[in-house]
Structure 1
């Protein structure tokens, strides 16, 4: 059957050491996965079960880009995150086997229209307007899992205009990467092309046009963006 119209192809994320890119199918975000960030948002961590939100593939932005200050918000926030790239099918996998599905890791940003997110939260509505919008998931190149090693001691930090705003360690994750993959795989057939943004440390805050954001995770390519004029 022919299509009625053309739609964008899957965005590609560069991979260290490869000429081919990683095509993005879906993006899952993890909420409140650092205890101090949950506290600054007015919540205690739910240690019984993780929870998630999603972003469209159109949220992907290559590191080094300028993105516009998005429409509909006056409180646009950065959130620095470890991103997990899935590289093999994973459905109802155990925590012990979950790591076999990991292709690699990247530094990423979960850009958030905070005022819209908080308004949705106050009305017990989904976070779609606050989280799921175009150019809201900047990402650096992916490093293959074998080249990154065990998750834990690496620092994760972010600066705005050369001023450090977030600084933590990956061992501070409430839910580990294997736990997240195992849990998500109870509800989705995970597979190549799926990205998991694993949550942000404390220190999130607002941005203005002209701001420069630089995020780092030890052992990974850093992610950077500049905020352009409002749309």
Structure 2
């Protein structure tokens, strides 16, 4: 049986895990919505508490009014973070007992606050949802979305802000199982076709191992699809480059 972070997954054997097994396990893990002692109710109570009073939308400096209905038109802007800054960010993460993602989250929240978004900054972030080793080789989409609320009030130092972010993020990771769609339904924020609910800016650090796919006579590479669409106001999607010894390369 595969070993889970929060316990053993019943029925997962060395014969292999199927996608249907995961859905059954998730339902069993979360438990009955009417059971006050279930993990589902515990996690819903957590999100209800930490997202209480969340701003309806993040105010950003823009040169035109927000339309009544999102057009979903968008595009990519490529940004390169050099090796030296990458190394310094990694050093801050190491000295703070935080992850590189947490340092990037703190930096983005500080930037948005400096641009006029206020001191209550909700950021969306995808989480892989693969909390069990038995899922490592299973094809399937397990990603969930978390809302990471960053408090930038009081003029904190970088270290203080990273510490705040670390505390919020670790708590969110421990309550990651409730599907985002249900969370929106339960919290019932002001619903509008003008912007995404609960957050409008997303941050992701793509640090999953890159799969290699080979076919005879073909050179295969991965490239973003240029759909000219956007689901959020801003989506910061970053990927690390590291050398053969793991050194930061941007």
Q: Give the TM-score band, short-chain normalised.
A: under 0.3
TM-score normalized with structure 2 length: 0.24
TM-score normalized with structure 1 length: 0.25
Higher helix share: 2
User: Which structure has the larger Rg over C-alpha atoms?
Assistant: 2
Higher strand share: 1
Q: Greater relative contact order (Cα 8 A, min sep 6): structure 1 or 2?
A: 1
